[in-house]
Structure 1
Amino acid sequence: MTTADGRAAQVLPIAGTPPGPPQPPGILAACDGSDGALWALDRAMSEAERYELPLYLLGVVDPAPGGYPPGMAELVQESIERLSGSMADGLRRALRAVEQARSRPFEGPVSLHVVLGRVVEVLLAASVGQHTLVVGARGNGGFTRLLLGSVSTAAVHHAACPVLVVPAPPARR
C-alpha cells in the first residue's frame, strides 16, 4: 500500500503487536471504519505533522467477544483470518479516503497495525509510550445517544498517554 503521495505505508502482520514501545513515540489513531474514526484519523494526521511524529493507525479485531467453548478456537481460525484481513483492508481504505479529502497529502511516516484482542485492552496497551492517542467520540457501537462511546470513555480514563477525543463536525452532530 502506498499513501496518496506515493510513500509506502507499512502494514504489520495480522495479529501483530500494538504500536507501543520500543517503537518511537508517535500519534496513535484508533480506527474502526466509522465516520467518527475517519474524522479522528484526519486530526491524528494533523497532530503527527505538527509534532513531526510517526502516525500509527490501529485496528482491533475481537474474534470472540463472548469467548469460545472448548475446542472451537481451531474451527474458527479461518474466520479470524478473514476478519483480520478485512480490518487491514478497512485501514487501507480509511487512510486513502482521509488523504484524498485533505487539502494536502499527509507528510509523515505511517504504519498500519491489525491486532487481535479486546478493543479497550489492546488500545490501552498500545497507548503506553505514545505521544497522543486519538479516538473518535463514538464509533460503530450502538447507543448513539451517548456523549462518548465506551472505547473513548475508557481511553480518557485509563490510557497511558494524553487522549484527544475528536467529535463529529458541527453539521453531523
Structure 2
Amino acid sequence: MTLLVSTEPPPPGSAIVNACDGSDASLWALDRAMTEAEAHRLPLHVLAVVNPSPTGYPPGMADLVQESVQRLTASMSDGLRRAVATVQAARPRPYAGQLTLHVLLGNVVDVLLRAADGRHTLVLGTRGNGGFTRLLLGSVSTAAVHHAGCPVLVVPAPVEEP
C-alpha cells in the first residue's frame, strides 16, 4: 500500500474517491471504498475536507489565522492516517492498492463534488459528524447523490445482529 498525504486535490483519472471525516459511517465507507478499489484495480483517494471559515474572513484576518489553519490541516492529516489504520486493522486482508490521503480546505460539498467529477465512483457514509442523527442521509451525502459527476455509493451502517 502506498500512503501519501497531500493538501492538493487528487490528480485527474479514473479512481475511487472516498470522503472520510472520522465518523463511524465514514469508516464503514472507507472499508467499502477499499473493497471497490481492489475489485476495480483503481487508485483510492481518501479526502478529508474542512471549511476553516464558513463565512469567510474579514479583510486582513486571513494572515492572522494561517497558523490555526496549518494546525487544523495537520490534525486532519493525523486523523486520516488513524482512520486508515483503524479500517486496515479490522479488515480480514489489508488493503494493498494505491492509496492517497488528501486534506482539503473549503466548502465540503463543493470540494467533494469537484474531486468526484469524472471519477469511477464516490464512496461515502450516510451521515458524518453533523448533529442531526435523526436524518437518514446527511447533507453531504444528499448533495453528492443529487449533484456528483460520477456514480455515488452511499454505505449504510452495518446491520446489528440481535
The one-letter amino acid paired with 2:92 is: S
Post-superposition Cα deviations, 1:12-65, rounded to whole Å, max 9, x if no partner, equal 1x3x1x2252xx311100011110000000000000011111110011121101
**Unaligned segments of structure 2, at least 5 residues:** none
1:9 counterpart = 2:3: yes
Look up the match of 1:71: 60
Q: How many residues align?
A: 161
The answer to whether the Cα contact below 8 Å between 2:28 and 2:125 also exists between their aligned partners in 1 is yes
The Cα offsets for residues 97-121 of structure 1, whole Å up to 9 and x where unpaired, read as 1001000010211011111111000
Q: % of aligned pairs identical?
A: 66
Deviation at 1:129, TM superposition (A): 2.1
Aligned to 1:162: 151
Corresponding letter in the other structure for 1:8: T
Choose from 43, 47, 64 the match for 2:32: 43
**1:30 and 2:19 are equivalent in the alignment:** yes
- Is residue 118 of structure 1 aligned with residue 107 of structure 2? yes
- 1:132 Cα offset (Å): 0.2
Give the partner amino acid of 1:136: G
Q: How far did 1:82 drift?
A: 0.5
1:82-161 aligned at under 5 Å gives the runs 82-161=71-150
Q: 1:20 to 1:142 in 2, by over 3 A?
A: farther
* 8 Å Cα contact 1:20/1:130 also seen in 2: no
The CA deviation string for residues 57-81 of structure 1, in whole angstroms up to 9 with x for no partner, is 0111211012212211111100000
In structure 2, C-alpha distance between the alignment counterparts of 1:61 and 1:77, rounded to whole Å: 14
What SS does the aligned partner of 1:60 have?
A: strand
Q: Work out whether 1:55 is the aligned partner of 2:49.
A: no
TM (norm. structure 1) is 0.90
Specify which structure has the higher proportion of helix: 2
| Runs of 4+ in structure 1 over 6 Å off | none
The SS at the match of 1:76 is helix
Q: What is the CA distance between 1:126 and its match in structure 2?
A: 0.2
TM-score, length-scaled by structure 2 = 0.96
Aligned mates of 2:51, 2:71 — CA distance in 1: 12
Q: Whole-Å Cα distance in 2 between the matches of residues 8 and 37 of structure 1?
A: 20
1:19 matched residue in structure 2: 10
Q: Is the 8 A contact 2:2 2:97 kept in 1?
A: no
Say if 1:128 and 1:160, in contact at 8 Å, map to a contact too: yes
